Amino acid sequence: MHSVTCKRRNRKFVGDIPLMSHTAIDRLVTLFSKLPGIGKKSAGRITYHILDTSPALAQTLAKELMGLHQAIKKCGTCGGFTETDPCYICSDPQRDKSVICIIESAQDLRIIEEGREFKGLYHVLGGLIAPLEGISPANLSIDKLIGRLQSDEVKELILALNPTVEGDTTALYLQKTLKDYPVEITRLASGMPVGGNIEYIDKLTLSRSFRGRVKV
């Protein structure tokens, strides 16, 4: 990331993290508090925990973070994060290639995999249609999905999208766009709370949602 100088205060910044004006502890608290789900208080707790623990933890953390973007890529087929391309799911001969589960993010893939119910393949859209945020179908990995449907191996697409306005809009768009393809489109059913998020559903409910999926 480029460092820039703030003319008004003449301080150096990386992104919006001030480099010169705070102590190392303040900088780390600010950095941690930028992570999802971590407020200033938790960020402070994490920082002091790292300080109180042996330097090995900080060193291992730093090493893993430094190499993260080099080690992890996106699978050229499904879009999930992987160290090999294609990923271990796309290249696993035991997986059911006739079913593709369509998800918003690579994180959803991990959550569904942990449920151990689904044995097919995945397709990560990389977001949901949200006109107000400027996210249109062109920003999502839909062309790639259509490319995967050219092979007649795929018989069913399961829309595992969050039941939110954006999830519904995206599901509807996919139904319309893919209606001429010889695939059955289903959607996760029972147990998905309206406005809820796959991230917060327990494994049993998620597994029931897969079994009880409905044709759309």
Among positive and negative, which fits the CA dihedral 153, 198, 135, 37? negative
Residue 100 lies near Zn ion (rule: CB under 5 A): no
If the CB atoms of residues 32 and 81 are measured against Zn ion, the closer one turns out to be 81
**How far is the C-alpha of 123 from the C-alpha of 77, rounded, in Å?**
8
Of the candidate spans 13-21, 86-94, 97-105, 192-200, the one that interacts with Zn ion by CB under 5 A turns out to be 86-94
Q: Nearest 5 degrees, angle CA 45-CA 51-CA 55? A: 135
Q: Applying CB under 5 A, which of residues 47, 77, 162, 170 lies at the interface with Zn ion?
A: 77
Residue 40 burial by Cβ neighbours in a 10 Å radius (0-12, 13-18, 19+) = exposed
Q: How far is the CB of 103 from Zn ion (least distance, A)?
A: 12
Residue 75 as a binder of Zn ion (CB under 5 A): the answer is yes
Q: How far is the CB of 147 from Zn ion (least distance, A)?
A: 14
Q: Which of 28, 43, 90, 157 binds Zn ion (CB under 5 A)?
A: 90
- Chain-centroid distance of CA 166 in Å reads 15
Contact yes or no for 210/189 (Cβ under 8 A): no
The answer to whether residue 78 forms part of the interface with Zn ion (CB under 5 A) is yes
DSSP 3-state of 131: helix
**Residue 154 contacts Zn ion per CB under 5 A:** no
Tell me: cis bond preceding 36? Omega within 30 of 0 counts: no
Nearer to Zn ion, 101 or 206 (CB): 101
Per the DSSP assignment, residues forming a β-bridge with 124 are 103
Residue whose CB is less far from Zn ion, 112 or 192: 112
The footprint of Zn ion on this chain (CB under 5 A) covers a number of residues equal to: 6
The pair phi, psi for residue 197, each rounded to 5°, is -140, 135
State the nearest-atom distance from the C-beta of 205 to Zn ion, in Å. Answer: 25
The CB-of-74 to Zn ion minimum distance in angstroms stands at 9
Residue (37 or 93) nearer to Zn ion, CB: 93
Minimum CB distance to Zn ion smaller for 80 or for 166? 80
Rounded alpha-carbon distances, angstroms, from residue 137 to 54, 82, 140, 168: 48, 24, 5, 13
User: Is the CB of 27 or the CB of 95 nearer to Zn ion?
Assistant: 95
